[in-house]
Structure 1
Amino acid sequence: MNTPKTASFEGNIDNRIIDQTSQTFRRIILLSILIVFSTIIIQWWIKRRQHRLRHSGKCLLLCGIKNSGKTLLFNRLTTGIEKRPFYSMSTNHGVMTLDDFSIDRLIERVHVIEIPHHIRRHQHDLYAYKPSAKAIIFVIDSTSIEKDIKYVSDYLYNILHEEYFREQRLPLLIFCNKQDLNTHDYDQESIRCLLEEELTKKRKISNNNDIGRLGKETFEFDDVKDIRIEFVEGSALDTRKKFIDKHYENDSENDSASHLLKVHQWIARIWFK
Structure 2
Amino acid sequence: MEDRRRVENFDMERTIHFLKQELSKQDPMVLGIGVAVAVVLLTIVFLFILARRKNKRNSVLLVGLCDAGKTLLFSRLVHNKYINSYTSIKENSGIYQLTGRKKGALVVIDVPGNDRQRMQFWDRFKNQARGIIFVVDSASFQSELKEVAEFVYTLLSDHIISQHKLSVLIACNKQDMTMAKSSKIIQERLEKEMNTLRVSRAATLGSTDGSSGGEVFLGARGKEFKFSQLSPVIVEFAECSAKGTSDEDGQGELNIVEEWMNRIA
TM-score (norm 1): 0.69
Compared with structure 1, are the counterparts of its residues 75 and 224 closer, same or farther at alpha carbon in structure 2 (3 Å cutoff)? same
Q: Equivalent residue for 1:78?
A: 78
Instruction: For 2:173, give the aligned amino acid.
Output: N
Q: How far does the alpha carbon of each residue in 1:195-224 deviate from its partner, in whole angstroms, 9 at most, with x for none? A: 0111011001111780011222x2111111
Q: How far does the alpha carbon of each residue in 1:39-95 deviate from its partner, in whole angstroms, 9 at most, with x for none? A: xxxxxxxxxxx9xx6374110110010000011000000000011132121111111
Contact kept, 8 Å, 1:142 with 1:182, in 2: the verdict is no
Distance, in Å, in 1 between the alignment partners of 2:74 and 2:54 is: 21
RMSD: 2.5
Trace 1:23-172 onto structure 2 (pairs within 5 A). 54=54, 56-100=56-100, 103=101, 106-172=102-168
1:237 alignment partner, one of 221, 240, 243: 243
Distance, in Å, in 2 between the alignment partners of 1:55 and 1:142 is: 35
Distance, in Å, in 2 between the alignment partners of 1:240 and 1:233 is: 18
Q: How far does the alpha carbon of each residue in 1:92-138 deviate from its partner, in whole angstroms, 9 at most, with x for none? A: 111111122xx4xx531211111101212211211111111000100
Segments of 5+ residues of structure 2 without an aligned counterpart are: 1-49, 204-215
Secondary structure in structure 2 of the residue aligned to 1:117: coil
1:224 alignment partner, one of 215, 226, 230: 230
Distance, in Å, in 2 between the alignment partners of 1:96 and 1:212 is: 32
Q: Equivalent residue for 1:248?
A: none
Q: Equivalent residue for 2:222?
A: 215
Instruction: For 1:238, give the aligned amino acid.
Output: G
Distance, in Å, in 2 between the alignment partners of 1:196 and 1:167 is: 22
Secondary structure in structure 2 of the residue aligned to 1:99: coil
Corresponding pairs, count? 203
Q: Equivalent residue for 1:200?
A: 195
Distance, in Å, in 2 between the alignment partners of 1:55 and 1:188 is: 34
State the percentage of identical aligned residues: 30
Distance, in Å, in 1 between the alignment partners of 2:178 and 2:121 is: 30
Distance, in Å, in 2 between the alignment partners of 1:84 and 1:71 is: 9
Decide which structure has the larger Cα Rg and report it. Answer: 1
TM-score (norm 2): 0.71
Q: How far does the alpha carbon of each residue in 1:229-255 deviate from its partner, in whole angstroms, 9 at most, with x for none? A: 11010101122799x9xxxxxxxxxx9
